[in-house]
Amino acid sequence: MAAGQFRISPGVALALQAEHPTVVLESTVISHGLPFPDNYDIARQCETAIRDEGVVPATVGVINGVLRVGLTDAEIHLLATHEGVRKVSRRDLGIVLARGEHGGTTVAATMIAAHKAGIAVFTTGGIGGVHRGDAGDVSADLQELGRTPVVVVCAGAKSILDLPRTLEYLETMGVPVLGLRTDTFPAFYASSSGLPVDQRVESVDEAAAVIQAHWRLGLRTGVVLAVPPPVELALAPEALETAVRSAVDAAEQEGISGKALTPFLLERISVLTEGRSKAVNLALLEQNARTAARLAVVLAQKDEP
């Protein structure tokens, strides 16, 4: 990647130089995950939540063909409102950089940017995974977790996915899945999928100890820290599964696939749950941001990976 195609904002650069705790945030939730103004508002709220913990936020995105770590308010607003923003994963980075396009970065692309910048903690809503059915649709997020040493704080994987196969894939890639005060893997909108995590941890301090032990062994994979959504907003698993199945059936009937599938399913689930799923989504995004910031503070007090 040419030097001019990758930039760290001055504020983030100063924080890194001073070894100040820093957290990255992805931008597909801004460009493709939520409608305006919810997308812009939650992006700013997550950055504020991180700052409230004494940590520097660094939202990642592609602006005019430059992969940027640390976006301005104007750049976040652009990604939230511009119609031509591309959804950018690992395979798309070279394309959007060469063409000078705008892009919202997925978990995979954001992990690449975070690692290149030297930032080890990343907050998001939910990771991608193995899609339901037999099409072999596997998110690039899972392979990125298998080769990039960044801890991803999330509410598990999106409920629209095949969660058992997603966890099996992470196991194959050697990615530890930790549950913060939970024995089971969250299902994004629901507190539990009923599937066990690799290890329950009671605090970010305990999580940091596991993460550092993993990396000190030279195991250069990512780590998932799964945080259940706020219990007062979480959907009942049975009602959620009914909505997911209905949304999946609708997507099949309308021939929706590829990059258009996840936004379609999330919007349909929001309609089916009368907006409750969106409320959970917004709440867990902010909660995850705060958790990631607290984890970054602890990790900054320990040895670098």
Which of 26, 47, 75, 144 is flagged as catalytic?
26
pLDDT of residue 19: 95
Which of 75, 87, 144, 158 is flagged as catalytic?
158
Per the annotation, the verdict on 26 as an active-site residue is yes
Close Cβ partners of 257 (under 8 Å, ≥ 6 residues apart):
135, 137, 251
pLDDT of residue 135: 65
- 137-166 burial, b at 16+ Cβ within 10 Å, e below that, comes to bbbbbbebbbbbbbbbbbbbbbbbbbbeeb
CB 282 within 8 A of CB 39: no
CA 177 to CA 40: how far, in whole Å? Answer: 30
pLDDT of residue 137: 87
Query: What class has domain 3-300?
Result: alpha beta
pLDDT of residue 305: 45
Give the C-alpha distances (Å, rounded to integers) separating 242 from 149, 191, 239, 245, 273.
Answer: 36, 16, 5, 5, 10
Domain layout of the chain by residue ranges: 3-300
pLDDT of residue 303: 55
Per the annotation, the verdict on 278 as an active-site residue is no
CA 163 to CA 167: how far, in whole Å? Answer: 6
pLDDT in tens for each of the 305 residues of the chain?
666 899 999 999 999 999 999 999 999 999 998 889 999 999 999 999 999 999 999 999 999 999 999 999 999 999 999 999 999 999 999 999 999 999 999 999 999 999 999 999 999 999 999 988 766 789 999 999 999 999 999 999 988 899 999 999 999 999 999 999 999 999 999 999 999 999 999 999 999 999 999 999 999 999 999 999 999 999 998 888 898 889 888 988 998 877 677 778 878 888 998 889 899 999 999 999 999 999 999 999 965 44
